[in-house]
């Protein structure tokens, strides 16, 4: 079951959902509108096993994304929940401009809590401003007992590129303790 | 909880789900198939600036279809009017169109409860594809909400065709505010 906007407000009050900073004006009928943080990572090169990104502050006057390029950013808000699973997506007004806010990894694990990394791809050139309302996050009830998230991404607050090449290391699983 | 196809039929009959026109044959196990309407929108600008109104053109899909090149982005719309005051709709591609490399939305699959109208597709293709009006292109599923319902009253309500983004309107309501 997906939480309605009224339920999201209630659970923020009860502490079962964290959204910081939280603004009532950003609550939708069944999601919450999040803002874009001010840090952007721009893909630069791939060395055969790892991608390298350049980090910039998004200027107040805006930054133009080029199409078919990959960028990483974060939500301005710290978002998480001990009780609900999350789905973080773009808002329809940005989708209507062809802006991807994630690359098919919308699912947020129950018990993770952080500024989410956004995987941004623009279908057409578009200017982004720091702090603009850019996407939405919905909250979903769980069915079954919750096992605490122990991944490496769910507590980070800066745009984090993939750790994936580490998976080749033989102790990969111990990284997830 | 996601509604089954049988439950969708039941709720269309009871009026709790709006799908019009509705054809029982388009019900799947967990969704309803949506067809592509005949109008597309293409932005006519070098760079989108969400603070400004973006010029666009409307294109009618010709009888023999319209080819989108790989990497092209246009807005389309469902022929069907959809919505519900009781369930939350989610839009998905059909696996058949996805296998041709077509996105029908750009990470914005969630529809607000209480939003009614034809839905705008955000069409982005990774391969060349010929679009035909009336083709089954997407599907809508319905999900049970948890909590008190406050219905959508937003700016895209009662759309009758593809609707370009209206972020320039939000500007007045502080979407760019640096709180």
Question: In a structure prediction context, what are the per-residue pLDDT tens digits for chain A, which is 177 residues long?
Answer: 999 999 999 999 999 999 999 999 999 999 999 999 999 999 999 999 889 999 999 999 999 999 989 999 999 999 999 999 999 999 999 999 999 999 999 999 999 999 999 999 999 999 999 999 999 999 999 999 998 888 888 888 999 998 876 555 555 554 454
A15 Cβ contact partners less than 8 Å away, ≥ 6 residues apart: none
CA B162 vs CA A2, A67, A105, B39, B74: distances in Å: 27, 22, 27, 7, 10
**Dist CA B8 CA B19 (whole Å):** 10
Quote the CA–CA distance of A120 and A99 in Å, as a whole number: 7
Phi, psi of B57 (to 5 degrees): -120, 150
**CA gap B149, B145 in Å, rounded:** 8
The question of whether A11 is a catalytic residue gets the answer: no
User: Looking at the partner chain, which of B51, B146, B176 has a beta carbon nearest the beta carbon of A4?
Assistant: B146
- Residues sharing a CB contact under 8 Å with residue A155, sequence separation 6 or more, in sequence order: A112, A113, A114
Q: Whole-model pTM?
A: 0.93
- pLDDT, tens only, B125-174: 999 999 999 999 999 999 999 999 999 999 999 999 999 999 998 876 55
CB contact under 8 A, B148 and A127: no
Q: Which of A3, A4, A102 sits opposite B150 (nearest CB)?
A: A4
**Long-range contacts of the stretch B8-13 (C-beta < 8 A, 24+):** B8/B32, B8/B142, B11/B84, B11/B86, B11/B87, B11/B142
User: Is ipTM beyond 0.90?
Assistant: yes
Assess A91–B contact: CB distance below 8 Å, yes or no.
Answer: yes
Cα–Cα distance, B152 to B142 (Å, whole number): 16
Contact call for A123 and B147, based on CB within 8 A = no
């Amino acid at each position: 079951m997906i939480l309605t906007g009224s339920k999201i407000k209630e659970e923020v009050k009860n502490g079962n959902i964290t959204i910081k900073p939280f603004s009532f004006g950003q609550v939708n009928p069944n999601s919450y509108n999040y803002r874009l943080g001010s840090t952007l990572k721009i893909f630069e090169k791939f060395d055969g096993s790892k991608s390298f990104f350049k980090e910039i502050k998004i200027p107040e006057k805006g930054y133009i994304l080029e199409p078919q390029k990959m960028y990483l950013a974060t939500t301005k808000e710290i978002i998480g929940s001990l009780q609900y699973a999350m789905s973080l997506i773009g808002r329809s007004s940005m989708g209507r401009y062809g802006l991807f806010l994630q690359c098919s990894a919308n699912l947020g694990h129950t018990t993770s809590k952080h500024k989410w990394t956004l995987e941004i791809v623009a279908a057409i050139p578009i200017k982004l401003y720091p702090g603009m309302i850019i996407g939405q996050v919905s909250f979903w009830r769980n069915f079954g007992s919750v096992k605490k998230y122990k991944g490496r991404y769910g507590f980070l607050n800066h745009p984090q590129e993939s750790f994936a090449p580490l998976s080749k290391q033989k102790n990969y699983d111990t990284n997830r303790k | 909880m996601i509604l089954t196809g049988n439950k969708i039929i039941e709720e269309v009959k009871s009026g709790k789900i709006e799908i019009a026109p509705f054809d029982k044959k388009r019900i799947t196990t967990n969704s309803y198939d949506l067809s592509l309407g005949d109008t597309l929108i293409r932005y006519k600008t070098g760079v989108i600036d969400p603070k400004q109104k973006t010029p666009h053109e409307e294109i009618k899909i010709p009888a023999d279809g319209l080819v989108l090149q790989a990497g092209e982005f246009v807005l389309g719309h469902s022929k069907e009017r959809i919505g519900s005051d009781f369930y939350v709709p989610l839009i998905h591609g059909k696996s058949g169109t996805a296998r041709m490399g077509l996105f029908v939305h750009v990470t914005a699959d969630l529809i607000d409860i209480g939003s009614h109208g034809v839905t705008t597709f955000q069409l982005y293709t990774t391969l060349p594809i010929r679009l035909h009006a009336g083709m089954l292109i997407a599907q809508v599923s319905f999900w049970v909400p948890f909590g008190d319902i406050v219905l959508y009253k937003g700016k895209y309500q009662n759309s009758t065709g593809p609707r370009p983004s209206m972020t320039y309107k939000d500007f007045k309501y502080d979407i760019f505010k640096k709180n």
